Structures are given as structure tokens and as C-alpha cells.
Chains A and B, each alone.
Chain A
Amino acid sequence: MNIDDFIKKVENEIDEITPGVLKPDTNFRDIAEWSSMHALILIALIDADYNVTITGEDLRNSKTMNDLFNIVKSRVS
């Protein structure tokens, strides 16, 4: 798995993001009007595609796409 694929998947799921705008060091809370709905979409995507559970605490402890990606990577079995 690599971060470019991860970012592409996120861009595909969240309509408010213009493809190509998201970078590894982007703070995902800067996405459009970040809301808890986006958190649910991210959790569902990561669960479906990587079979990894992301908690509310994980999200609170992450800032950038890279932070999030590293959590997923560390938990992929």
C-alpha cells in the first residue's frame, strides 16, 4: 500500500475535494467544511478497503493525511 493510492481513495469518497488538491501533508480538517460526516466517510472507507478500524481518538491524534495513513499502515494485517 502507498499513500498516493490512499489519497486517491479519499478523494473519490469525499465529493467536496477537488482531485489533485490533497497532499500527504494536507491537514484533513481543511477539507471543505470538515464535519463529523467526513469522519464517518473516512472510517467506512478505511474499514472497507484496508479492514482497519480508525477510532475517534485516532482522528483526534492525527492532523495530516500522512498521520492517518501511518495509522492505517501500522494496523494492516
Chain B
Amino acid sequence: MATFSLSHVKLSGIAACVPKKNESNLDYDWISEPERQLLIKTTGIENRRIAERGTTSADFCFAAAQNLLKELNWNAADVEILVFVSQSPDYFLPASAVILQDKLGLPKTTLAFDINLGCSGYVYGLSMIASMMSNTKIKKGLLLVGDVSSISLNKRDKSTYPLFGDAGTATALEYDEQAARMDFNLQSDGSGYNAIIIPDGGSRQKLEDASYKEEEVEKGIIRSRANLKLDGLEVFNFSLREVAPNINALLQYNSTTIDDYDHFVFHQGNKLMNESIRKKLKLDPAKVPYSLKEYGNTSSASIPVTIVSQLSEQVKSKKNKMIFSGFGVGLSWGSVALSTEHLICPPVIEI
């Protein structure tokens, strides 16, 4: 079982950047008024930020990182590792992390690479960067996590379009011998790869004219093979089945209980799903923040977006023990238990 601990690395700050342009699901006229109301009530998603074409995940992460470096008073020249997590990178190749190294003015001694994960990506990204920093004793690192999902969505697909928002985030980490341990439990099940997928555009099926042919899959769902496809019921059942046991196994591994934690920050998929998981774990609603209403499902960015937009006062002012849990596309899921103290956490910025 991929449960493990990492020492000597701490979180120093988190920042987020979203597009200026807001879209409200109250205006989503592809579906009827009662259906709109039911969608908003069930998913909890009212507003989503949508990137202008040509502005990418890397751009939002870049703006968040610049803001965070400034707030931390860090010199870019001192950062020696940059990890970028996204499923909407700038190019097939090269890796966006390498381009960001140069744009942010990090030295050529920086190690930089991309990770291709979505909803679970923040937790996986934390495990990768903390593991490398713990082993290499690199002093300062940046984890940049974000997605522009809107670029892959079909406006006439009610099963995807009203759910996703765009965002980019930056998390700063430091090597510190005194840092509290981070405990992880990471899992995968590729048998469900087809539950959330963009079928065409990769190496298995390159984009061709037929990729853009739109088909009505069922009432209210029109999409092409270049669009994101989401099997909502499949993902819902996966999350109900796997997330609570994953967290329970983590608690067993590090010998803690639910009551030891101040906050549980979940990937923001939909409200009904997260509330079902919350009830299974018997968590106090006050400990489970949501950013769904304002930002929708921001894919890999959802956990840091939720912290920055909902918990900034708490993480800035005191010590917190928290569990983060990401789950979805892959299927891939994982959780981390960690402590933070006086995080630098500037308000969400817009570009």
C-alpha cells in the first residue's frame, strides 16, 4: 500500500489566480430553468471563472507564483525545484515546468518537470516535491498546480460544461529540519480510465477531422471526441466507494483520529458527493470548506483554491492540522495529513 511519510519539508505559502471572466450557471440556458436550479442545488456550483482563449494554466500558475514570491519576500534565484501539475499544459512538449523556470527567473540550477494528473494532482504533486526536497535538501521549492478545463468542454454538454472552472495556484515549500511529518496514502485504478477522458488528441488517437464531429450522446449531451467526456454516475460511485476508506487507512497508518484535525479539504467535484463523503467520515461541517459555489470544479487546483478562498484567515493566523484529499480522473486518488503554521496566503488574484 502506498502509505508513507516525508520529513523535513514544510509548506510556507499558497496563492491562487483565476480568470477575470465569470460565468454563472443561472445563465446556462442550454438547460431548462428547473434543471438549472436542480443542478446548482445538487452540485453546489453557481459561478465559474473562464479563461480567455490563449491564456493557459501555466499563465495562471505564473501569476500566482509571482504574487507568492513577492508576499514571501523570496528571491527567485533561491528556488531550486519547480513542479508543474496539470492536464492542460502549454504544449505536448516541452514541459511547461521548464518554460516556467525561465519565465519566473529561477536559476538554471533548478530541477523542473511536469506531472500529468487532475483531481488527485495536488496531493500527488505535494508528495513528489516534498520527497525530492527531503532527499536532496533543496532549500526552496515551488509546486504550481492548475488547469484550464474550459478549453476542452462543449457548451452543449450539460454533463460537463456547467461544472468546471479555470484556475492556477502556487505552493511554496521549504526544507526545515524542524518541520512536522507529512503522511500520504496514494492510490490508482486505471480500469476506470474511461470515466473521465478526452478521447482524441493524444498519441493513441491524433486529432483528425472526425475528432471534431459533434454527436448527440443523449438529450442535452452533445460533444465531439476532442471534448472532455465525464461519466458522472461512475465517478460519483467511485468517490463514494474509495475516498472514505483511503482517509481511514491514512488515519490508521499515522495513528491519529478525525478529531486531531482542524480542517479537511477535499477536491471540489460536487456538493452532494463531498457531503456524502463527509457524512461517511462523520466530519463536522465547520471543518469542511467549499469553494464550489464561487469557482466550480477547478480540477487539480481545487484544494489550494479552497484553502486560499475559504481558509486564509485560519491558515495565516494559527497552527493547523489538516487532511487534503484529491480524487477523480485516472482514476487516481490520494490523501495527505500535514501541519501548517502561519502560512503566507494572499487573497485570490485575477488576470
Q: Which of A19-27, A34-42, A66-74 sits within the interface?
A: A34-42
Residue contact A37 to B38, C-beta cutoff 8 Å: yes
Q: Does B180 contact A (CB under 8 A)?
A: no
Q: Does A3 contact B (CB under 8 A)?
A: no
Q: Does A4 contact B (CB under 8 A)?
A: no
Q: Given A48-B279, A53-B241, A55-B237, decide whether A40 and B35 contact each other with a Cβ distance below 8 A.
A: no
Chain B residue at smallest Cβ distance from A58: B233
Residue contact B34 to A37, C-beta cutoff 8 Å: no
Residue contact B241 to A41, C-beta cutoff 8 Å: no
Residue contact A55 to B233, C-beta cutoff 8 Å: yes
Could you tell me the distance between the alpha carbons of A32 and B232 in the complex, rounded to whole angstroms? Answer: 20
Chain A residues near B236: list those with CB within 8 A: 40, 43-44
Could you tell me the distance between the alpha carbons of A36 and B42 in the complex, rounded to whole angstroms? Answer: 10
Q: Given A55-B233, A56-B231, A59-B233, decide whether A37 and B240 contact each other with a Cβ distance below 8 A.
A: no
Q: Given A36-B232, A40-B233, A40-B272, decide whether A53 and B34 contact each other with a Cβ distance below 8 A.
A: no
Residue contact B237 to A37, C-beta cutoff 8 Å: no
Q: Closest approach, in angstroms, between the C-beta of B245 and any C-beta of chain A?
A: 13
Could you tell me the distance between the alpha carbons of A36 and B233 in the complex, rounded to whole angstroms? Answer: 8
Q: Does B32 contact A (CB under 8 A)?
A: yes
Q: Does B3 contact A (CB under 8 A)?
A: no
Q: Does A33 contact B (CB under 8 A)?
A: yes
- Size band of the interface chain B makes with A: 20 to 34
Chain B residue at smallest Cβ distance from A56: B233
Question: Which chain B residues (27-44) contact chain A, with CB distance < 8 Å?
Answer: 32, 34-35, 38-39, 42-43
Residue contact B159 to A44, C-beta cutoff 8 Å: no
Chain B residues near A55: list those with CB within 8 A: 233-234, 237
Chain B residue at smallest Cβ distance from A14: B38
Chain B residues near A56: list those with CB within 8 A: 231, 233-234
Could you tell me the distance between the alpha carbons of A40 and B280 in the complex, rounded to whole angstroms? Answer: 16
Residue contact B276 to A48, C-beta cutoff 8 Å: yes
Chain B residues near A39: list those with CB within 8 A: 233
Q: Closest approach, in angstroms, between the C-beta of A22 and any C-beta of chain B?
A: 17
- 0/1 interface trace, chain B 211-237, chain A, CB 8 Å (1 if under): 000000000000000000001111011
Chain B residue at smallest Cβ distance from A38: B38
Residue contact B35 to A47, C-beta cutoff 8 Å: no
Could you tell me the distance between the alpha carbons of A48 and B272 in the complex, rounded to whole angstroms? Answer: 12
Q: Closest approach, in angstroms, between the C-beta of A37 and any C-beta of chain B?
A: 4
Residue contact A53 to B42, C-beta cutoff 8 Å: no
Chain A residue at smallest Cβ distance from B42: A37
- 0/1 interface trace, chain B 225-265, chain A, CB 8 Å (1 if under): 00000011110110011000000000000000000000000
Q: Closest approach, in angstroms, between the C-beta of A28 and any C-beta of chain B?
A: 14
Q: Closest approach, in angstroms, between the C-beta of B120 and any C-beta of chain A?
A: 21
Q: Given A33-B35, A48-B276, A53-B237, decide whether A40 and B231 contact each other with a Cβ distance below 8 A.
A: no
Residue contact A35 to B35, C-beta cutoff 8 Å: yes
Q: Given A41-B272, A47-B240, A48-B276, decide whether A16 and B34 contact each other with a Cβ distance below 8 A.
A: yes
Listed A/B pairs (27) with beta-carbon separation below 8 Å: A16-B38, A32-B34, A33-B38, A36-B159, A36-B232, A37-B38, A37-B39, A37-B42, A37-B43, A38-B38, A39-B233, A40-B42, A40-B232, A40-B233, A40-B270, A40-B272, A43-B237, A44-B236, A44-B240, A44-B276, A47-B240, A47-B276, A48-B276, A53-B240, A53-B241, A56-B234, A59-B233
The 3 closest A-B pairs by CB, nearest first: A56-B233, A37-B42, A44-B276
Having A53-B241, A55-B234, one finds 5 other A-B pairs with CB under 8 Å, namely: A33-B38, A35-B38, A40-B232, A44-B272, A48-B279
